[in-house]
Amino acid sequence: MAEIKNLLFDLGGVIMDIDRARCIRSFERLGMKNAGEFLGDYGQKGPFEALEAGAIGPDEFHAQVRALMGADGKRVSDEQIDRAFNAFLIGIPMERLRCLLELRKRYGVYLLSNTNAVMWHSRIASSFRADGRELNDYFDGVVTSFEARALKPSAEIFRYAERTLGIRACETAFLDDSRANVEAACALGFRGLQVEPGREFSDILKKELAL
């Protein structure tokens, strides 16, 4: 096996803590009775998926979510929809941010996330500022699904990440909480490491890469 030179991280469930149930409750309070059908732990459906895939922008997303709410949607603002969606994200523990900085001293550290423009420019950006830095201070490069217009676990987004970030799969460990995403990465030559609920990526890296 080639020497691991790069670490490619998923965001939600690996670096950032998430709470699907809290997000569903927030949309239900706005009048979206079937929110759970569209919001998953590892993937979304309908307008939520389309936003993550870059197929629609925030304005169309807001319109489509209102349509799912029926008559209740007419009284719901864009800001309320965004707040409900951002309820999916809890935050990033400080020790994980500092661990990323330490890892950059030894590895190329990159991010590959299924995410969307609503969260990316609000809750995600602010969470990375918790220790007085910006998101780009923690990574040598970033690929988001809405900008790549592709979603994990498709081979397309992994190959896009290789080209855009200038990395080789055989030299890269990929960390994700989704088994399907890890298996897809392994099939393309990455060293796949699943970060299961309750585990810290730092502990997995210590065990698997002898850090």
Q: Which tens digits make up the pLDDT trace of 181-210?
A: 999 999 999 999 999 999 999 999 999 887
Q: What is the pLDDT of residue 209?
A: 86
What's the DSSP call for residue 2? P
CB-CB neighbours of 170 under 10 Å: 14
Q: Which residue has the tokens 């209102």?
A: 66
Active site residue 78: no
Q: What are phi and psi of 50, to 5 degrees?
A: -60, -35
> What band does 81 get if pLDDT is binned at 50, 70 and 90?
very high
In tens, the pLDDT along 30-47 reads: 999 899 999 987 788 999
Through-space distance between the first and last CA atoms of the chain, rounded to whole angstroms: 17
CB-CB neighbours of 103 under 10 Å: 18
The active-site residue out of 10, 82, 176, 177 is 10
- Give all domains of the chain, ordered by start, each with its CATH number: 6-17+93-209 (3.40.50.1000), 20-86 (1.10.150.240)
Contact status, residue 53 vs residue 145, Cβ threshold 8 Å? yes
